[in-house]
Structure 1
Amino acid sequence: MRKSLSFVVLALLLAACAGRPENLLLISDQRAAGATEIEMLVATTRLPSGDPGTLFSGERNQVLGDIKIVDIAISIPPDEARKVGQVQFPKKAPGDPAREFVTTRAKVLEIPDAQNALRSMLRNKGTGHVLVFIHGYNNRFEDAVFSYAQFVHDSGAPVIPTLFTWPSRGQLLGYGYDRESANYSRDALEEILRRLDRNPAVTQITVMAHSMGNWLTLETLRQMEIRSGRLPGKIDTVIMAAPDVDFDVFRTQMRSLKNAGPQYILLASQDDLALSVSRRVWGSSVRLGAVDAAAEPRRSELEDIGLMVVDLTEAEGGGLNHAKYASVPEIAKVLGERIAAGHTLGVPKATLGDRIGLATASGAAAVGGAVGLVVTAPLAVVDANERDRFGHRVSAVGEDAKAGLGITTAPTCPTERFGPRPVGCPEL
């Protein structure tokens, strides 16, 4: 069974790597009607490639502390011309903006110019909310840029996108090198987060990481807490998508991060094939991103940490089921809403059972693929703003689908005396 699983994962990874296009960052001077442009700032510890089609390689910048900043804009075709949840890579660079993602701007900036660019983006978008994303293993510079642009667009998150990209070689057999490159980049990520926190125009920072990027993120946050005694106050939420982190190691990391601070949200999926292989590579019992949060002893351990746990196991993610946060459009949309909402849960020391999470119903076809909120305690434990924001999503998931997932929810009962009463609501 183990050999067959490893073969399937290897085949999927090889297929993905074989089809990677080249020179994605060549500038297109064409525009398409209905296309959307995603502008982002990119910070990196990679070595410049000297090639305008790639900008940066997978090697490490040997000048310690030299963080490169790039202002990049990616044009995304209209939704009716693409499959939402996927990146439509150009078949040949620079690409066709009517049907493919294309690069419309890519300019390396000095730090003062980067600060000016950030101020301009904040002013033009009318927000002080910055979303910092840290990618995972096996990502070239251009892969990370295009994938992040896709998530920002499909989630609809009203934020200023900032990408931190570390020196991944983007090679299937480069796992060990990538892990060391993540460690190499801890101080640089800390510097970026502190610079954002010191910027008076920035009012809120959400940190989101995927896969191995969570190792880098957690190690960075841990060293920041140890160094200063607390995390920067503007870091509001930390979202961990499919974290490739040993569960026991995660528990020790969180011991240093238990002071009052950001809301930590875990997006986990027990059918994540990439994490299944990682678990065997490391010889660990479970990877954090594939944990069964409902089963003991993990439930109690997570409860003690105080996470918002999001179980995406029932969502059909395709491929390795390793990037459901971006590949399932409904999940991306709800995450966008959650990012916009910020740290609004009203019970800071609530147990795991008092948190809310997201899931897609196994009977998605019957409910139109709607994403609903899994509520493991009455909605009364969540503050009123959160109930109002997400209540409609709870009711969007059919009772049959919820039963299939073992979900029980308290009904949202209207306060008016007239009209029919939902099942479970007392008479007024």
Structure 2
Amino acid sequence: MSPDVDDVTILAHSMGTWLAAEALRGVAMRKKSIPAKVRNVVLASPDIDIDVFRRQFVEMGPNRPRFTIFTSTRDKALEVSRWLSGGISRVGGTDLTPYTAVLGELGVAVIDTSAIASGDSLGHNAFAGSPEIIRLLAQRLGGQSVSGGEAGFADRLAAAAGSLGRSATRKTATVPVDSSEARKLLKRESTTSTGQIVDGQISY
């Protein structure tokens, strides 16, 4: 990575989110850590098996960048993807509200865009229906700072989504959460057709 770059934000959409997450996992496995310069990862409508993402997240190690995930329960493209995968939930099409507190403890902000009106009939690009969200993403990806620090970036994205309707976003909870709960979420045994994870150990 160029020494002239000191702040990297990764933006991925749909099936590209799996590639982004897998690349970060691979770097962490080879280098024992993700470079500190990678500060934010934005996953829009992630078309990833929810168990696969949990494994990828665990394998990234403790020094992960902050994640912002745009979800929508009205995403028809992800409904089709879930059907094609045998009913396995996709991260971007899942209601993550029950887990927002734990995810917040892990540095993951969840923004529900279900209420955003989108010109896309499939609802797969709902996040792009907010000019404010697009402005903030363009500002960030253009190398400009977003006031309020790294956590503030996710908060401002959530606020931008919320400007289109109170129900358009569910921000991560800010109340303290016992980290043991986070470990349970990530380390519990989960078996799928692509591999297995037991106590944080993965095999594909």
TM-score (norm 2): 0.69
Tell me how many residue pairs correspond in the alignment: 165
Q: Which has the greater radius of gyration?
A: 1
Q: Which residue of 2 aligns with 1:275?
A: 78
Which residue of 108, 126, 129 maps to 1:307? 108
Structure number with higher helix proportion: 2
Match of 1:324 among 126, 130, 137: 126
Percent identical pairs in the alignment equals: 33
Structure 1 248/284 Cα, relative in aligned 2: closer, same or farther at 3 Å?
Answer: farther
Aligned to 1:214: 17
| 1:162-241 paired onto structure 2 within 5 Å | 197=1, 199-241=2-44
Mapping for residues 8-27 of structure 1, pairs under 5 Å: none
Residues 21-67 of structure 1: per-residue CA shift (max 9 Å, x gap): xxxxxxxxxxxxxxxxxxxxxxxxxxxxxxxxxxxxxxxxxxxxxxx
8 Å CA contact retained: 1:314, 1:361: no
Aligned residue for 1:345?
151
Shift of 1:324: 2.3
- 1: CA distance, partners of 2:62 / 2:165: 40
Aligned-residue offset at 1:244: 0.3
Q: Which amino acid aligns with 1:257?
A: M
Where does the alignment leave 5 or more consecutive residues of structure 2 unmatched? Answer: 176-204
- Counterparts of 1:245 and 1:373 in 2: how far apart (Å)? 20
Which SS does the other structure have where 1:267 is aligned? strand
Which amino acid is 1:321 matched to?
G
Give the C-alpha shift of residue 299 in structure 1.
Answer: 4.0
1:375-413 Cα offsets, whole Å, 9 max, x none, are 7559xxxxxxxxxxxxxxxxxxxxxxxxxxxxxxxxxxx
Letter in 1 for 2:79: S
Q: Check whether the contact 2:11–2:43 (CA below 8 A) recurs between aligned residues.
A: yes
TM-score normalised over the length of structure 1: 0.35
- Checking the alignment, whether the CA contact within 8 Å between 1:246 and 1:284 is kept in structure 2 is no
Q: 1:242 aligns with which of 36, 45, 69?
A: 45
Report 1:44-59 matches (<5 A): none
- Aligned residue for 2:111, secondary structure, equals strand
Offset, 1:272: 0.7
Amino acid at match of 2:6: T
Q: Deviations over 1:284-320 (max 9, x none)?
A: 432101121213xx44663564311111111111221
Pick closer, same or farther for the CA change 1:363–1:259 going to 2, 3 Å: closer
Counterpart in the other structure of 2:59: 256
- Higher relative CO (Cα under 8 Å, sequence separation at least 6) belongs to 2
CA distance, structure 1, for counterparts of residue 172 and residue 101 of structure 2? 17
**Is contact 2:46-2:91 (8 Å) kept?**
yes
Asked whether the equivalents of residues 45 and 71 of structure 2 are also in contact (C-alpha less than 8 Å), the reply is yes
How many Å separate the matches in 2 of 1:313 and 1:320?
12
Cα shift at 1:228: 0.7
User: Structure 1 residues 373, 333: closer, same or farther in 2, change over 3 A?
Assistant: farther
SS in 1 for 2:151: coil
